[in-house]
């Protein structure tokens, strides 16, 4: 380079990215909207690639790489998190569909409530009334009174 403030080896880095099949623009962040359409194998493959990239960036950090490489570590970590989030969410969704008609639901798929709410009677059980109580309610309903204004 001519030493006018440009980073040395910039062209080489760009060529490496194109050789790996990445575009220069999307090397940093992965959009979650693009991930939802992919299947599990593609997502796992992408996650492994991102982890490899993270390892390379960390070794470059130790070796004293450029500042732009160091800033990419954050983006790659967040991209890995996005991919894993999509994998876990789709997996949980598939499990919910599988257990939809089953009698029992795994504990981690059950609604997270307070301990008291989990142990409370269901609405159906709480609203149950004995035969005797039904008869009392039928024969002696709640009276509605209206007070006449003067």
What would the pLDDT profile of 120-131 be if each residue is shown by its tens digit?
999 999 999 999
Domains and CATH numbers, the chain: 28-103 (1.10.287.310)
Distances (CA, A) of 101 to 30, 95, 114, 125, 138: 36, 11, 25, 21, 37
Q: What is the pTM of this model?
A: 0.61
**Is 105 in contact with 99 (CB distance < 8 Å)?**
yes
Residue 108 has pLDDT above 80, yes or no: yes
Distances (CA, A) of 14 to 8, 10, 24: 12, 6, 7
> Rg of the Cα trace of the chain?
31
Query: Which tokens hold the place of 70?
Result: 């160091």
């Amino acid at each position: 380079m001519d030493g006018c403030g440009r980073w040395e080896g910039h062209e080489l880095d760009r060529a490496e990215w194109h050789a790996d099949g990445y575009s220069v623009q999307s090397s940093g962040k992965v959009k979650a909207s693009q991930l939802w359409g992919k299947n599990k194998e593609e997502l796992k493959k992408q996650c492994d690639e991102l982890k490899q990239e993270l390892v390379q960036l960390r070794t470059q950090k130790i070796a004293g790489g450029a500042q732009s490489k160091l800033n990419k570590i954050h983006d790659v970590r967040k991209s890995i998190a996005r991919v894993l989030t999509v994998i876990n969410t789709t997996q949980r969704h598939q499990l919910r569909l599988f257990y939809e008609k089953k009698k029992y639901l795994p504990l981690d798929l059950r609604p997270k409530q307070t301990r008291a709410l989990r142990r409370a009677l269901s609405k159906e059980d709480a609203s149950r009334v004995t035969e005797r109580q039904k008869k009392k309610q039928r024969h002696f309903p709640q009276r509605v009174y209206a007070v006449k204004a003067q």
